[in-house]
Each structure stands twice: as C-alpha cells, then as structure tokens.
Structure 1
Amino acid sequence: MKDMENLNPPAVLDEIERASAEMGFTMASDRQTGSILRTLAAAKSGAFLELGTGTGISTCWILEGMDASSTLVSVENDEKVQAVARQHLGGDRRLTLKNMDGEAFLRSVREQRFDFIFADTWPGKFYALEEALSLLRPGGLYIIDDLLPQPNWPEGHAPKVAELIATLERHERLVLTKLCWSSGLIIATRVDRA
C-alpha cells in the first residue's frame, strides 16, 4: 500500500497549488493531510471550522468531503493569501471565508458549536486552545498537523510543539490518536464523560 498513490485530489487543487507557488506561499498542508481531512469530513455532518485558510488548499479537501447540507467557516488573517481561496472556492455556498485574526474569531463565536475543527494556524492550536476546544461538540473532531519537525519552523518552536502534544494528551475531554505520518497529525474527539 502506497499512501501517495491514487489520492484523487479535488479538481481545483492543481490551480490553487499553482497560484500558491506563484505567490511564494509555502505554509500549506500536504496532499496526505488533505486526503485524511476529506475522509474525516465525509464522516461528519454539520458545522465545520478551519482556522488558517491560507490559500485554500486544505479548504478544498474539506469541502470535497463535506455533504451538501454542511457548512464551513474558514478564518485567515492574511487577506492576500486568502484571496486565492476566495477566487477558486468562493462560489461554494457552503463556505464562508472570514478575514480576521483567529483568536478574535474564536472569541466572537463563543456560543457556537462545531462538529469538525481543523486548526492549521497558531490560534486554536498554540494559543487560544481551550477557546477552540470549547466550541467542539461532543463527538466532534479536532485535527491539527505540522507536529513533526518542519523546515519552516521558527527558532525555538520544537518545545512549543512538545508542550502542545502533552497538553492534548492530558486533556480530560479528548480521546486522541497521534500519527507520525505526513507532517505529523493529531486527530482528537471530544467526549463528555460524567
């Protein structure tokens, strides 16, 4: 079994990847992560949240897995990179693109609940983690990537990753699996046990 064969990427992915390369955007998730996001999205229905749209690479995979009645809010603070996602995915009525700081967004939707959260930026992952997890419905999925060493990590980032993983491992309301695969992922499900 070869995990990079027959991924059947979304039709729009090549165009988004090309536009990302032209603008020098290198922070996107890889195709393996996209594939697992699509599969997990297909297992859920309801309200989806992506923190860190980037140029829309992960967004297109999530949309590909979602059913017709689900909705996705994708948040990005860099309007220039999110413009690529808007150009290629903005016509999908299930998608709402928010150009704002991720932590500010999390504070603005405290009463809302999501069935699926992909945190691909610092807010909701390295800070404002509890704010993000509080928005997750019981049975909802929380997914993060880039947990294995990456060439674009800033100096001193590795201890932050180790601390994040340890925090999630200790979290009383999460059941999680760590995947030493792709860029390094955690898939967690919220459980509310008495």
Structure 2
Amino acid sequence: MDLVDAAYARAESSGFPMSCERPVGQLLATLAAAVRPGGNILELGTGAGVGVAWLVRGLGERTDVTVTSIELDPATAAVAATEAWPSFVDLRVADALSFLSTTLLSSAAGAFDLIFADAPGGKVEGLDLTIAALRPRGILAVDDMRPAEDWPEDFKVRQDGVRRTLVEHPNLVSVELDHGSGMVLSTRR
C-alpha cells in the first residue's frame, strides 16, 4: 500500500474525520512537485498524515526537499507517526503559532516554498505569521474555503475572514478555486 492509501486507512481506522479530500491532495502533490531543489515545505495540521503523504507523493523520488508537518494534538500526531516516513519528512508535535514565531526569528525572508495551512493555528489564528513564513514566490494553499451547509455559523464567519485576508492581502497574489472543499492558492510577491 502506498503512503497516501495507508494514510487514508489510518485516518479511517483511528476515527480521524478531517483529512484533506483527494482533489486537494492531488493539488498538493502537484504543487510539491514544483518546489525548487533544496526547498522547504510546511504543513500545519498533520492529522493522520494524509496531507503529508500527498506532498511526499508529489516529490516522487526526490530527497532534496524538506517536508515539516506540525500537529498540536499528541494523540493525533501519534497516528501519523506510525508510518515509516522518508528521512526528509519531519513530523513535529508543536503549537503552530509557536513554531512559526520561532521560524520567523531565524529567517527574515521567509523559510518555506510551499505551505499547506490546514489547522486553526496558522490559518484562522496567526495567518499573518503563516504569510510571513513564505519565501518570496512561495505558495500558500488553504482548503475548506467553500462554506458547507453543516458548518456552524461562527465557523463560516471565521473561514470567510481567512478567505478575505488571502484574496485582499497586498503581499499576495491569490486565486480562489472551486476544487475539493474550495481552495485559495496565494503566492507571496
């Protein structure tokens, strides 16, 4: 079983319901394939490891890119950690906002070529830190941008705030895609 199928199976068997949809994963794989040699990819919200599995699939046989994935919940992170990930994958149990703040202290120009923001920390809270962590010409991918009928009203409002911040940000060029759960892709100027 490949990494992506194994990750979906882990998510299902552990009862983790919030993994990225296959269309989103396919887009992540495509974006990862374009990351420059020596580049850095960041995922905020490891979950069961579905997103990071798609990123690794996109890299194929490449080992010249570092993939860091941050998960706040230790129990959820333990589910993803059961996989034998390639050596260039770094799974961390950490608070995304603390991680981003520390990263920004060590890199004035941004540290990441591709960021998939899929957790409240760095997406709903601290989006400014996530944007600052992008290198110039770096790409930020954010999913769940199309409101679903079963979303609570306060969640719809928060997600719309994220969407507006991305599409209106003066340092980003953004496009809204009706893909998967709704995506916003943003490139830092």
Give the TM-score, by structure 2 length. 0.90
TM-superposed CA distance for 1:75, in Å, is: 0.1
What runs of 5+ residues in structure 1 fail to find an aligned partner? Answer: 1-9
Question: Quick one: distance in 2 between partners of 1:171 and 1:74?
Answer: 25
Q: Does 1:65 align with 2:58?
A: yes
How big is the shift at 1:153?
3.6
The residue aligned with 1:165 is 163
Q: 1:104 is matched with which residue?
A: 98
What is the rounded CA distance, in whole Å, between the counterparts of 1:153 and 1:94 in structure 2? 36
Q: Pick closer, same or farther for the CA change 1:183–1:151 going to 2, 3 Å.
A: same
After TM superposition, give the deviation of residue 175 of structure 1 in Å: 0.6
Equivalences for 1:77-92 in 2 at 5 Å?
77-90=72-85, 92=86
Asked if 1:182 is matched to 2:180, the reply is yes
Change in Cα spacing, 1:89 to 1:172, as seen in structure 2 (3 Å) is farther
For residue 85 of structure 1, report the CA deviation from its aligned partner: 1.8
Match of 1:20 among 11, 21, 25: 11
Q: CA RMSD in A?
A: 1.6
Contact 1:60–1:89 (8 Å) recurs in 2: no
Q: Deviations over 1:158-188 (max 9, x none)?
A: 1111222111121111011101121000111
CA distance in 1, matches of 2:121, 2:65: 23
2:30 corresponds to 1:39: yes
How far did 1:12 drift?
Answer: 2.2
Q: TM-score scaled to structure 1, two decimals?
A: 0.88
Say which of 42, 48, 65 aligns to 1:49: 42
Answer yes or no: is the 8 Å Cα contact 1:71–1:94 preserved in 2: yes
* 4+ long deviations beyond 3 Å: 150-155
Work out whether residues 41 and 114 of structure 2, in 8 Å CA contact, stay in contact via their aligned partners in 1. yes
Identity %: 34
The number of residues matched between the two structures is 181
- Are residue 95 (structure 1) and residue 86 (structure 2) matched? no
What is the CA distance between 1:149 and its match in structure 2?
2.4
Is the Cα contact below 8 Å between 1:16 and 1:84 reproduced in 2?
A: no
**Post-superposition offset of 1:146:** 0.7
In the TM superposition, what is the alpha-carbon distance from 1:36 to its structure 2 partner?
Answer: 0.4
